[in-house]
């Protein structure tokens, strides 16, 4: 089941312009610059199971954003009602997730 556009709009509204959503296969990647901070799949937010994130979450619940994925923490939309808490979570993710490695230059043959 794909994420409803209204769910994506609500998430962006709660985050107050801190991030952008990158649409992919009916779902979304939550991005800050080049960093992918979270995934928005099946109307739920999924964040990596990093130690700092685990310590931040009051009652972490594991889930998979898509079949075959490693376990992530699932954040249901009910938790998004607290915009300050949600912004703090996204700020923490932006702090602890490293910048992606630069892509190598392609060779011309």
pLDDT, one tens digit per residue, over 7-65 is 999 999 999 887 999 998 889 999 998 899 999 999 999 999 999 999 999 999 999 99
How many domains does the chain fold into?
A: 1
Instruction: In whole angstroms, give the CA distance from residue 69 to residue 51.
Output: 19
For residue 45, give the CATH number of its domain: 3.30.1460
Task: Decide if 59 is inside a domain.
Answer: yes
pLDDT, one tens digit per residue, over 50-105 is 999 999 999 999 999 999 999 999 998 889 999 999 999 999 999 999 988 887 77
Instruction: In whole angstroms, give the CA distance from residue 9 to residue 38.
Output: 15
Residue 56: which domain range?
Answer: 5-96
pTM value is 0.87
């Amino acid at each position: 089941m794909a994420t409803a556009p209204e769910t994506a709009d609500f998430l962006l509204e709660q985050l107050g312009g801190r991030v952008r959503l990158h649409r992919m296969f009916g779902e979304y990647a939550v991005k800050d610059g080049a960093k992918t901070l979270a995934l928005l799949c099946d109307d739920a937010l999924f964040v990596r199971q990093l130690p700092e994130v685990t310590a931040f979450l009051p009652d972490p619940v594991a889930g998979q954003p898509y079949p075959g994925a490693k376990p992530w923490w699932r954040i249901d939309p009910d938790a998004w009602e607290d915009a300050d808490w949600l912004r703090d979570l996204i700020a923490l993710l932006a702090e602890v997730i490293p910048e992606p490695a630069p892509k190598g230059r392609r060779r011309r043959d």
